[in-house]
Amino acid sequence: MLNNIGLPGLLLIAVVVLVLFGRGKISNLMGEVGKGITAFKKGVNDGQKELEDNASEAAKDITPETEKDKA
């Protein structure tokens, strides 16, 4: 069903949404969506950094005891 919409159909839908909600409301909504995406990316990066930190802390030192004493 959605495969047959095409460009004219999308433009018609965009005009109807603009008329129903108004430019200001759509602008505010897109701003909130942008803030949400930014917060999501920051959360993903923080989580990935935390995982990397945990992995580096859990890394074992496999240097033999005799080699440690030489350093």
**Would you give per-residue pLDDT tens digits along the chain (71 residues)?**
567 888 889 899 989 988 888 888 888 888 999 999 999 999 999 999 998 888 777 666 666 677 656 65
The whole-angstrom separation of Cα 42 and Cα 27 is: 23
- pLDDT on residue 61: 65
Which residue in the block uniquely carries the two structure tokens 């350093």?
Answer: 71
- pLDDT on residue 42: 96
- pLDDT on residue 25: 86
Residue 53 contacts residue 46 (beta carbons within 8 Å) = no
pTM listed for this prediction: 0.53
- pLDDT on residue 26: 83
Of 12, 28, 4, give the one whose Cα is nearest residue 36: 28
Coil/strand/helix, residue 19:
helix
